[in-house]
Structure 1
Amino acid sequence: MSSSPHIRSKATTSNIMMLVAIALLPASAFGVWNFGLPAFGMLVTTTVVAVLTEYIYEKLMHKKITINDWSAAVTGLLLGLNMPPTAPWWMGAIGSVFAILIVKQLFGGLGQNFMNPALGARCFLLLSFTSQMTSFVYDGVTGATPLAQLKAGNTVNTMDMLIGRIPGTIGETSVIAIVIGAIFLILMGVIDLRIPGTYIVTFVIFVGIFGHIANPDVGFFDPQYITAHLCGGGLMLGAWFMATDYVTSPITPKGQFVYGIILGVLTGLFRLFGGSAEGVSYAIIISNLLVPLIERVTLPKPFGKGGEK
Structure 2
Amino acid sequence: MSDLLHVSASPHVRSKTSTKTIMRDVAIALLPASAFGVYQFGIKALLLILTCVAASVLSEYIYEKAMKKPITTYDYSAVVTGLLLALNLPSTAPIWLAVIGSVFAIIVVKQVFGGLGQNFMNPALGARCFLLISFTSRMTDFSIDGVAGATPLAAVKAGEIVPIFDMFIGKTSGTIGETSVICILIGAVYLLIKKIITPRIPFIYIGTLLVFAGIFGGHGFEPSYLAAQLFGGGLMLGAFFMATDYVTSPITPMGQVIFAVCLGILTGIFRIFGGSAEGVSYAIIFCNLLVPLIEKVTIPVPFGFRKEDLKNEK
Name the structure 1 match of 2:104: 98
What is residue 16 of structure 1 aligned with on the other side?
22
Partner SS state of residue 287, structure 1:
helix
Q: Is the 8 A contact 1:79 1:121 kept in 2?
A: yes
Rg comparison, structure with higher value: 2
Q: CA–CA distance in 2 between the matches of 1:146 and 1:173?
A: 10
| Cα distance change on mapping 1:6 and 1:279 into 2, 3 Å | farther
- Counterpart contact for 1:167–1:173, Cα < 8 Å: yes
Amino acid at match of 2:42: G
Q: 2:198 aligns with which of 168, 174, 192?
A: 192
Q: Deviations over 1:257-309 (max 9, x none)?
A: 11000000000000000010000000000000000010011100122256579
| Mapped contact 1:49–1:97 kept (Cα < 8 A) | yes
Residues 1:116 and 2:116 aligned together: no
TM-score (norm 2): 0.93
Q: Distance in 2 between matches of 1:260 and 1:57?
A: 34
Alignment match, 1:267: 267
1:156-305 equivalence runs, <5 A: 156-212=162-218, 218=219, 220-304=220-304
Tell me if the contact between 1:47 and 1:77 (Cα under 8 Å) persists in the aligned partners. yes
* Aligned length, in residue pairs: 299
Mapped to 2, the partners of 1:134 and 1:7 lie a distance apart of 48
CA contact (8 A) 1:161 1:232 kept: yes
| Displacement of 1:7 | 4.8
SS at match of 2:217: helix
Q: Structure 2: which 5+ residue stretches go unaligned?
A: 1-10, 310-314
Residues 302 and 308 in structure 1, CA contact (< 8 A), matched pair in contact too: no
Question: Which aligned pairs between 1:43-62 and structure 2 lie closer than 5 A?
Answer: 43-62=49-68
Q: Given the superposition, is the C-alpha separation of residues 307 and 229 from structure 1 closer, same or farther in structure 2, using an over 3 Å criterion?
A: closer
Please list every run of at least 4 consecutive aligned residues from structure 1 whose deviation after the TM superposition is greater than 2 angstroms. Answer: 5-9, 303-309
State the Cα RMSD in Å: 1.4
State the shift of 1:140 in Å: 4.2
TM-score by length of 1: 0.94
Tell me if 1:142 matches 2:148: yes
Say whether the 8 Å CA contact 1:271–1:277 is kept in structure 2: yes
